[in-house]
Amino acid sequence: MRAALLVDAPDPAVRDAILAAGTWARAATATGMTFVVSRRSRPDGALEPGDLVRIARNGRRALYRVAAPEPGGADVVRLDGIGATGGRHVTVTSAPTRAGSLVTVEVNGGRSPGRVRTLRALQVLLGIVTLVATGRSAGARPALDAVPIGGPDGGAARVVVAGVLVRDAAVLAARRTYPPQLTGRWECPGGKVEPGESETDALVRELDEELNIVVRVGERIGPDLDIGDGHELHAYLVELISGDPSPTVHDAIRWVHADEVDDLAWLPSDAPLIPHLRAVLDSYEPSAHVRPSGA
């Protein structure tokens, strides 16, 4: 079983992202699993041959050993199942192309249901690899990452980020369930940037938590919006990398077209975004969403 994704980043950055234990841990968290590595010579370094990897979910555990890749091959990481997972093999490869780096994940051996679950988790891994690799290759982006954090005491405003996800000339809106005075109002989903967290990372985290999706953060939409209590709203275009939006903290989501934007009962904080949303939708040009094959 196999899935592939073309990543718009140079091969060295992609390989570093694949090897980073943190990349695998983020993918595991996004799919409700835990990822633990033992016997590591560098606790915060890359996966190395001989490392033991334990992946667990709902009481089920799978144990793998990181194998040495074939010299000169495209393999970046190869995991060989041991114990109850024996016979299953997971391989992640990266190959440079003119359009970017082609990353392929493959699951072989073992029982079919286990292979399917493993492949689904690896499809999320592809999305995380894209986020990490493109971020590293792009370098620092002050407009996204240099976020002053403060409050209503005269310091910098606390930032709230919102994601503008567009599909088929419609923008995704989510309906609030709290607090009581805002119940039933619609918003572009997102949330607060935590101290020490970049706006990009915060938006990726919030949309993962609220919609079970992995996104790539793009350009800013609209101006900085003062939403009161020392908070400022920053909206960004986001691109769907993996998953299908399903609400976890909202009671409904809706795809809204340009001629419907004005009719929705938006949150007061999001209402100033309406003309900017309409401009985005009016200029919408269909493009291929970045998705693992078979997702």
Residue 174 CB-density burial (10 A; 0-12 exposed, 13-18 middle, 19+ buried): buried
Tell me, what DSSP letter sits at residue 44?
Answer: T
Q: Taken in order 161, 205, 210, 245, is the CA torsion positive or negative? A: positive
β-pairing verdict for 231-242 and 190-192: unpaired
pLDDT score, position 135: 67
pLDDT score, position 190: 94
From first to last of the 295 residues of the chain, give the pLDDT tens digit. 888 888 888 888 888 888 888 888 888 877 778 888 875 555 456 888 888 888 887 777 888 889 887 776 667 889 998 877 788 889 998 888 888 888 898 988 876 666 777 777 788 888 888 877 776 555 433 333 333 333 334 456 789 999 999 999 999 999 998 877 788 999 999 999 988 888 999 999 999 989 999 999 999 998 888 877 778 999 999 999 899 999 998 999 999 999 999 889 898 888 888 889 988 998 876 653 333 323 3
Q: How far apart are CA 62 and CA 76, in angstroms?
A: 20
Place of tokens 């620092």: 140
Tell me, what DSSP letter sits at residue 125?
Answer: H
CATH architecture assignment, domain 2-138: 2-Layer Sandwich (3.30)
Query: Tens of pLDDT along 140-197?
Result: 333 333 333 333 344 567 899 999 999 999 999 999 988 777 889 999 999 999 888 8
Please give the CATH superfamily to which domain 151-282 belongs: Nucleoside Triphosphate Pyrophosphohydrolase (3.90.79.10)
Q: Looking at beta carbons, which pairs linking 52-61 to residues 24 or more positions away fall under 8 Å?
A: 53/24, 53/79, 55/28, 55/121, 57/31, 57/32, 57/33, 58/32
* Domain parsing of the chain, residue ranges: 2-138, 151-282
- Residue from 252, 16, 3 nearest 124 by CA: 3
Fold match between domain 2-138 and domain 151-282: no
Question: Which residues are CB-neighbours of 3 under 8 A, at least 6 positions away?
Answer: 104, 105, 119, 122, 123, 126, 292, 293, 294, 295
